[in-house]
Structure 1
Amino acid sequence: MEMIMQVTRAEHYFDFSKSYLPKKERIGLSQKIKRIQTLKREKNAVILAHNYQTPKIFHTVSDIVGDSLALAREAEKVQADIIVLAGVHFMAETAKLLNPEKTVFIPDLQAGCSLAESITASDVESLRILYPGIPIITYVNTSASVKAASDICCTSGNAKKIVESLGVPKVIMIPDEYLARNVAKATDVTIIPWKGHCQVHERITCEDIHRMRADHPEAKILAHPECPPEVTQLADFSGSTAEMAEFMDQKRANDVILLTECSMSDNLAISYPHINFIRLCNLCPHMQRITLDNILDTLEYDQYEVHIDPIIADKARLSIKRMLNA
């Protein structure tokens, strides 16, 4: 079933790309994709791709696509020997944590994350001293060492559920300040945030929304909860990338503006050709480091395997498992 869905998505991509990709480039792209598919079969490998990957990856060679929560859940079900994570480093670590017996590769070791880089395990220990007895919830956009120092993980899609599942009046949520503040508006639990920000979402402002409303009054505006709270409050809907995709299925909208990483709009435009996606977004420089070329190199040469210290891995895995079981 996965292969059938993958072929269908690839056909949609090539049909969609005819308007802007020269024939010669499409032929070269097709040959590269076929080589990747061949190597996957030979090595019993699968490619997990985040929603922020470019259409060239998302709609052609990926076997499993989704947001961080979906990839975390699906990683546990993978039957292959090798996982190639088309995303950023913390996602590859998460796949390895949930599949310690499998080989996990990331096509570019420099594919990082501004949120993950905003906090360390030492910072978490300092928070425990400053706020004794208060549970620490860590966003999946963190390193394995930070997850290991925390009590439980969350994603943008389940953050409110995780906060309320602990049954306590106050929690610490790290590292995304805006996600914490957005969740705080929707729950009675007091949330102590950390000053981490996504370099893509923090750049979106209220002025951007006012301008887009004036230019496109009929458009539905969807904001990721990593955007500042004053931005999400002005949007028509706020949710994770998976919830944004669900919005397309549930709501009728001719014009849509996604306040998130721009590749999300590109991918949805192929899946929902009847919707006009108006771009007000930025590209994540870390996600953009993943390409078909370095995915091919990863499979050709088995390069950039993800390793995690076993002591850290055991503790970090517990935080993720608590999230998945909550």
Structure 2
Amino acid sequence: MDQNTLEKLKKEKNAVILAHYYVNGEVQAAADYVGDSFTLAKLATTIDANHIIMAGVEFMGETVKILNPDKQVYLPDPTADCPMAHMVTVEQIDAMREKYPDLAVVCYVNSTAEIKAKSDYCCTSSNAAKVVGAIESQNIFFIPDGNLGRNIEPLFPDKHFINNKGCCPIHDQVTPDMIKSLKEAYPDAVILAHPECKPEVLDLVDYKGSTKGIINAVKDLDREVNIIITEEGIRYELEKTYPDRTFIFPDLVCKGMKQVQLDDIIDILKTGKNEVHVDPSLAERAKLPLTRMLAICG
């Protein structure tokens, strides 16, 4: 389908396509907005459209629906999932609250609606430190990504972090030896990594930050060769933004993100399939930590 036909369908349906940087390049090219989790969460509250297609994994569709209960939200592939989103349980949260009366549960957006509903604050990789910095509680239960919690923990020596054992299976497979080998192979390159990686990996890189942060940092670091330690879907935006730079990627591919296909988006526009539904009472509870995040981070 050509771009003109796609635009005509979107206009007929009053639809907007949001896409994460990790989905395939052709999907990003068709989207109205492309961003990281925080950018997309903010956009979801401002979009003037009746229909929102979230080109990403399941928790992203849920999040958009929670923030837009009166809009119709769709996922190109409802089976596209994030393993990390299921790496903490309601029972774990309840047990921690019993153990620490002043506990603040800080929930990475890569989580289910059920887990958000049991949390006090949401955060993304780009604003986790800012969110924690706004919390008075001494005890922080950081869920579900333990690596992100460990990576911001040194910024808050006065707080007690309980970091969940969950992780992103893609970023967690990166090792210090992999980084050292890349440095040897490309001695003039800079290395930029996502904070879902282990702390011992981030100790060896030149920049650590969210996907949007990585994109911006390429300009600031101003080097010809850039080694990118995150899911390879970000290559599309990097090469579009910096056509004169070289980007080296290790083999980091998220199966869930790659399930998102342009044909499924077109089917949604034609048929209205794959609408996202979140129980209204659950959505209302899950919305609170998200709105707190947006209030703190603007």
Q: TM bucket by the smaller chain?
A: over 0.9
Residue type of the partner of 1:104?
V
Does residue 203 (structure 1) correspond to residue 203 (structure 2)? The answer is no
Partner of 1:55: 25
User: Matches of residues 1-326 of structure 1 in structure 2 within 5 Å?
Assistant: 31-58=1-28, 60-188=29-157, 189-326=159-296
Is the 8 Å Cα contact of residues 182 and 225 (structure 1) preserved in structure 2?
Answer: yes
Structure 1: runs of 5+ lacking an equivalent: 1-30
Determine if contact 1:260/1:281 at 8 Å carries over to the other structure: no
Paired residue total:
295
**Separation of aligned partners in 1, 2:191 and 2:277:** 40
State percent identity of aligned pairs.
39
Residue 32 of structure 1 deviates from its aligned partner by: 4.6
Kindly state the Cα deviation for residue 97 of structure 1 after the two structures are TM-superposed: 1.0
Offset of 1:301 from its aligned partner? 1.1
Unaligned segments of structure 2, at least 5 residues: none
Structure 1 residue 61 displacement after superposition: 1.1
Shift of 1:37: 2.0
Give the Å deviation of 1:310. Answer: 1.1
Q: Distance in 2 between matches of 1:124 and 1:299?
A: 39
Report if aligned partners of 2:103, 2:138 keep a CA contact under 8 Å in 1: no
Of stretches 65-74 and 258-267 in structure 1, the one that deviates more from structure 2 is: 258-267
Displacement after TM superposition at 1:259 (Å): 0.6
CA contact (8 A) 1:32 1:292 kept: no
- 1:315 Cα deviation after fit: 0.8
Q: Which runs of 4+ in 1 moved over 6 A?
A: none
Amino acid at match of 1:302: G
CA distance in 1, matches of 2:236, 2:185: 21
Amino acid at match of 1:199: P
